[in-house]
Every structure is written in structure tokens, then in C-alpha cells.
Amino acid sequence: MPIQRTKQHLYSAMDLKEENRILRQRLSELTQKAQDNQETLKRFHARELELLSAESLPELLYGMTDGLKSSFEIKSIQLLLCDPDHEIRHLLSNNGIDEGAFPFLHFVDDMVAVNPRFSRLRSPWLGPYLSPEYDNLFCEDHHLRSIAILPLFCGNRLAGSINLGSDVSTRFTRRHATDFLARLATICGVCLENAVNRERLLISGLTDPLTELHNRRYLDRRLDEELARASRYRQPLSCLFIDADHFKRINDNHGHQVGDQALRELANRIRSQLRASDVATRFGGEEFALLLPQTCLSEALMLAERIRLEVNSNPIPLDDGAELRLSVSIGVSEALPMLGKSHHKELGCHLLANADQALYMAKAKGRNRIEYETSGELGTGDPETTDMSLRPG
């Protein structure tokens, strides 16, 4: 009997020791998991603060793409934004930024057309990467093994998604909790809505309500930016001043309502000849100013002629059934900023003044024509072509 009790005691002691070992291991795992969760929370919190502090739409989009990719050390990321009316793209364009500046951003017209899962997705989805089902969610697969899809909502509207991809199959699984990712998606959705609304308000204060072109205040802001960009990349920047000929007669003979109609049509015809990167503004009254990035003088003169011909092409139909013919005089100038120079303000003033002086000369020579000025010297037409090529027929 004593021997039996000794064996039972020995077995109990061994069981207790093993149980203690398992408990210590479990405690260590829980402690490590708690530490990992704390680090994850810190990382998410830091990223959330950066998104919430973004001062502009471009800064926010960068944070939602490159910023998240770097922060989470993932193989691939793709931000999809539903923009059927091209509003966000127009807001970026108004800031002089092309959508190509964000390689991890893709605009779509319909999220469900991209992937049917979006018709029922209301919270983050984690799981294996399946091809071709999820191919449209990433610009490149990078041999992805697992993905996380974070739907973005602005109010109740699905505004897009942030798609995270990993080449590790266990990085995003259906067993993982999605609390942090859901919170991040909510913050991104709110920040996106606020940034778009903020840009709308900003643009409304920089837009001429009659023509829907930008106003002179916007021109002043963009002029410094474009000169700095031209200096950095050693590219020319040209300017066009456009003035409607004999516009006072239109107001005197037909009234200001017809004059406003003529200005709107003139703005539309000018806009039809421009690239997305060009800056069109109503400088004041019946005068318009254009900034043409990466455009030399000869190219600016060709654009000026296209605009002149477009304005002359067809009469403007009036509401009373009558027709109004309109012509424009155009002055052209060019700036070639030097790298490293900080005289952008002075150079900008010269660029505008030269175009204005060339416009004055065009009107003095009979109107409905184009003049240019460089380095204080006036000229007619394209310096590399005959003068007659840019004179009205």
C-alpha cells in the first residue's frame, strides 16, 4: 500500500508539473499575442492619425495607398474609388495633379461590375487570393496568396475599397479578427468624404460662376506652382490672353443677358481645345487667360490659332432665334524658368504682362488675330512659319 500511494503521488506531481508547463506556455502565448495586438494597435493608431491630419485630397490619397503599403509592409495594395461622374478626377485635375500620380489608385464607374462581391460586402473580407475572381482588385498580383478587402462607405454609399495583398497565405485568413481593419475602413471613408467636400468648397471659391472656368485668384495660385514645376523639370510654360472683339457692342445692342450667353459659349469653345493639364481662367470681363504647361511658344501659337478658328467657326445661336458672330484677339508669351532660381513671382508677372502686351498689339492691328512677345520683342504668328498662316482669311 505505501508503494502504491508513492506511485500515485509521483504521477500526480508529474501531472501537475506538466500542467504548469502547459499553463506557462499558454500564458506566454497570450502575453505575446497581447504584445502583438498592442503593436498592431499602435501601428493602426499612427496610420489613422496621419489620415485624419491630411490637409488635402492628394495627401489623403497618398496616405491611403503608399502610406498603408509601407506601414503594413504588404506586397500589394490597390485603392478602388467609384467615380462615375469623374468628380474626384476633376478635383485632382484642378490641383494640377494627374491621376497617374497615384500608381496604386484606380477609378471605376461601378464597383459591382469590378467584382460581384461588392453587392453584399458591408465589412472587411479576408481570405485566400483566387484567380481570376480577384484579378480586377489589383493592378498586379505579385504572386499573392491572401488578401483583405476593405469596403469604403461615404454615408450609406459604397465609395470604393482598399485591397491589401500578401504573398503569405496566413497573413489574411478568415480566422483573423477584422476589428482594426473595419475601424480603418470607416476612418478612410469619413476622411475621403470630408476631403472631397473640402475640395468642392475650395474650388467653388476659385471658380467663375458664369463661365465655370477658374477665376483670377486661382490663376495667381497656379502660376507659382506651374513655374516651380517648369523650373524643376526644365520645361517651358506658355500663356495665352484671349479677348472677345467688340464685346461692348454686344452688350449695348443685345443686352447683358445675351452678353453672358456669349461669354459662356466662348468659354466652352476655348475649353474644347485644351488638355486636362492646361489651366483656363476668366481673367476679368471678356478676357481669358490660359496657362499651358510643357508648351513652347510655337505649340502655344498653334493652339491659339485652333481657338481662334473654333470661335470663328460657327455663329452663336441666341434664345430669340438670332445668331451672333464672335471673334477673338489672342496674345501669346512663353517663360523658360531656370533650375534653382527663386524669381518665380517676377517671372510670372513678366509672363502675364508679355501676353497682355501681345494682346494689346493684336487688337491695335485690327483684331481677330494672334500676336506673340518674347524678351520684350513683339511678333506676329508662329516664328517658324509665315505670318499669313496665323492671320484671319
> Active-site residue numbers?
286
Task: Report whether the peptide linkage leading into residue 209 is cis, meaning its omega lies within 30 degrees of zero.
Answer: no
Number of H helices, E strands in the chain: 11, 13
Helices (H), 53-164: 57-62, 68-72, 87-94, 111-114
At 161, phi and psi to the nearest 5?
Answer: -155, 150
CA distance 280 to 213: 6
Cell of 30: 497570450
CA distance 42 to 48: 10
Sign of CA dihedral 99, 100, 101, 102: positive
CA distances 54 to 61, 218, 391, Å, are: 9, 22, 50
N-to-C CA span, the chain: 127
Cell of 49: 492619425
* Residue pair 163/80 in contact by the 8 Å Cβ criterion: yes
